[in-house]
Amino acid sequence: MHAPADYEQALRDAGLRVTRPRTAVLDAVHRHPHADTETVIDATREVLGDVSHQAVYDVLRALSAAGLVRRIQPSGALARYEARVGDNHHHVVCRSCGVIADVDCAVGDIPCLTASDDHGFTIDEAEVVYWGTCPDCSASSPASSPASSPATEPSPKG
Instruction: Strands of the chain (E only): list them.
Output: 35-36, 70-72, 80-82, 90-94, 100-103, 129-132
Q: Are residues 120 and 64 in the same domain?
A: no
Please say whether the beta carbons of 36 and 156 come within 8 A.
Answer: yes
Specify the number of domains making up the chain: 2
Range of the domain at 26: 4-72
Contacts of 154 (CB under 8 A, 6+ apart): 74, 76, 77, 93, 94, 95, 96, 97, 98
- Could you tell me if 51 and 102 lie in one domain? no
pLDDT in tens, the chain (158 residues): 567 779 999 999 999 999 999 999 999 999 999 999 999 999 999 999 989 999 999 999 999 999 999 999 988 888 999 999 988 788 999 999 989 999 887 665 566 667 778 889 888 777 888 899 999 999 987 554 444 333 444 444 44
Domain membership flag for residue 79 = no
Distances (CA, A) of 93 to 26, 76, 131, 156: 23, 11, 5, 11
